[in-house]
Structure 1
Amino acid sequence: MTFLPCSDLTAAEWIATSDEHWWKLVTMGPAGFPAYARLRFIPDPTYEGQSENEVGRPSGILSDMEQLRVAAGSLLRHTGSPSEGYLLIWDGWGEDSFPDLVLRAPRVVVPGREYYLCRVSLSDFVSGTIEDSWQAKTDRAMPPPAFIWPKDRAWCITQDVDPHWASIGAEQAMIDPLLTEPRLDVVRVEANQKLPFYF
């Protein structure tokens, strides 16, 4: 199995039926994890109202998708179901970005966003096999997943199209190794912390 579009959306109900405000849900992920962190794809803004266009990506930094795969690979060691997980992919990337099988699947709807649900081998996601298969079917790069989680919901990575970071919800013991992973820039999220956004 590389990726399998889901006609049964039950696996995503815990996200679709969340009581979280939609913006918090799509940026920080489902509530209820003991700890949260941010995976920063580029550094945080240095002043209020700064535009993301003013910030260049430092040389040698992995792509956003590569960083997501590194983070998922670390978290994968802490799940009982590495061979089965799920991706929600935002439908706003345009029809040309999706294989026909995905486009024919129903969508998971939250206020402000709609997603396609795919069942995947998380090991294949981490290795890049799913991206390769996706590109072979579409001749386009795979859009970054908006939500990534294992079947046992031990953790969840959430990435919306607007922030310059992804959120990670998990046990603190799962997040701690990410804080010192040299290929990533991961910082803790404290309770009631005002999160940074570019203008």
Structure 2
Amino acid sequence: MEKDFHMIPVKDMKEARWIAESLEKPWSRSKNANYAAAVIPRGFAAYARIFHPAYLRNEDREVTWSEVVKHTGRMPHSQMQWHTIANFKNSDTNFNGLIEPYTGRLPERQAKALTEILCKYTNTPGNCYFAIWDGWNFPNMEKLRNHTVSFQLQDRNYYLMKGDIFAAVNDISSFSLHAPGIWWPEDRTWCVATEVDMMWTYVGGTECCIDEILMENRLEAFLATPDDRADVYGDEINTG
């Protein structure tokens, strides 16, 4: 396999088995509700939910969800949904040129900020595992199929790769801007998960790790729990 990635293929899925065994089955509690525990494993001392920023093309800048709610009269909270807060009908601005947050991947700037924090909270920053969804259409996908073990998480198929923690950022461009869906260090001190159809990323880790994430000004992060709603109807505050 040509060295197109900073990640290398993994032949045995044993390192990913704990993820598959730890995740809650989606929609298992109710046919009308899904929870964060179906996206990121339980067992960590604390959790954060990082909201992917929108982008204002006309001003060439990021727009946080908290900035949006200031204009739409909604309430910022850990389970807010983009479609419930981004209604500008009665707003003093319509954010002309606003591009919605990335779905299915943490943007590069936020990924860089996150890895700078996470590398301090693992003893194995040089040995991390990355699960890449097989639905992303990037040029090197065929090489993954031929050289890397695949495994099932929920109803999606993933390929398992290995590399240092910064591969989560360095390989974004290699994967046509599609980052790993879930990644963790060998010592499992934290875990990062971005579901394919979500505009946010979950992180589980120690309390100190999550506290630092919450304080990082490059990240719009809220304290979360595995029992938070993660479906499109999960925002029960900004309704109507």
Please give the range of the TM-score, normalised by the shorter of the 2 chains. 0.7 to 0.9
Match of 2:15 in 1: 11
Distance between the aligned counterparts of 1:98 and 1:26, measured in 2?
Answer: 31
Query: Computing the radius of gyration over CA atoms, which structure comes out larger, 1 or 2?
Result: 2
CA contact (8 A) 1:163 1:197 kept: no
Could you tell me which amino acid in structure 2 is paired with residue 33 of structure 1? F
User: How much does 1:28 deviate?
Assistant: 3.6
What does the per-residue CA deviation read over 1:125-170, in whole Å, with 9 as the maximum and x for residues that have no partner?
34x2x345xx3xxxx6241211011110000010012121100000
Q: Does 1:41 align with 2:41?
A: no
Quick one: structure 1 residues 179 and 64, their matched pair in 2 at CA, closer, same or farther if it must change by over 3 Å? Answer: same
Distance between the aligned counterparts of 1:158 and 1:37, measured in 2?
Answer: 11
Quick one: structure 1 residues 24 and 108, their matched pair in 2 at CA, closer, same or farther if it must change by over 3 Å? Answer: farther
Quick one: structure 1 residues 158 and 85, their matched pair in 2 at CA, closer, same or farther if it must change by over 3 Å? Answer: same
Give the number of equivalent residue pairs: 187
Quick one: structure 1 residues 48 and 71, their matched pair in 2 at CA, closer, same or farther if it must change by over 3 Å? Answer: closer
Q: When you count helix as a share of all residues, which structure comes out higher? A: 1
For structure 2, the 5+ residue unaligned runs are 27-33, 54-64, 75-79, 88-94, 101-105, 235-240
Distance between the aligned counterparts of 1:19 and 1:190, measured in 2?
Answer: 14
CA contact (8 A) 2:124 2:187 kept: yes
Quick one: structure 1 residues 170 and 192, their matched pair in 2 at CA, closer, same or farther if it must change by over 3 Å? Answer: same
Could you tell me which amino acid in structure 2 is paired with residue 166 of structure 1? T
SS in 1 for 2:121: coil
Distance between the aligned counterparts of 2:44 and 2:82, measured in 1?
Answer: 31
CA contact (8 A) 2:214 2:221 kept: yes
Q: How does 1:10-89 map to 2 (within 5 A)?
A: 10-18=14-22, 20-22=24-26, 24=35, 28-42=39-53, 43=65, 46=74, 50=83, 56-57=98-99, 64-89=107-132
What does the per-residue CA deviation read over 1:60-83, in whole Å, with 9 as the maximum and x for residues that have no partner?
xxx713312321220111100011
User: How much does 1:51 deviate?
Assistant: 6.7
Q: Does 1:186 align with 2:221?
A: yes
What does the per-residue CA deviation read over 1:21-41, in whole Å, with 9 as the maximum and x for residues that have no partner?
236468641111111110100
Which runs of at least 4 in structure 1 moved beyond 2 Å after TM superposition? 22-28, 44-58, 96-101, 123-126, 190-199
Distance between the aligned counterparts of 2:17 and 2:49, measured in 1?
Answer: 24
SS in 2 for 1:157: strand
Aligned with residue 140 of structure 2, among 74, 98, 102: 98
**TM-score when normalising by structure 2:** 0.66
SS in 1 for 2:41: coil
Distance between the aligned counterparts of 2:158 and 2:36, measured in 1?
Answer: 13
RMSD of Structure 2 on Structure 1 (CA):
3.2
CA contact (8 A) 1:78 1:174 kept: yes
Could you tell me which amino acid in structure 1 is paired with residue 204 of structure 2? G
How many percent of aligned residue pairs carry the same amino acid?
26
CA contact (8 A) 2:172 2:179 kept: no
For structure 1, the 5+ residue unaligned runs are none
Quick one: structure 1 residues 27 and 66, their matched pair in 2 at CA, closer, same or farther if it must change by over 3 Å? Answer: farther
CA contact (8 A) 2:23 2:39 kept: no
**TM-score when normalising by structure 1:** 0.78
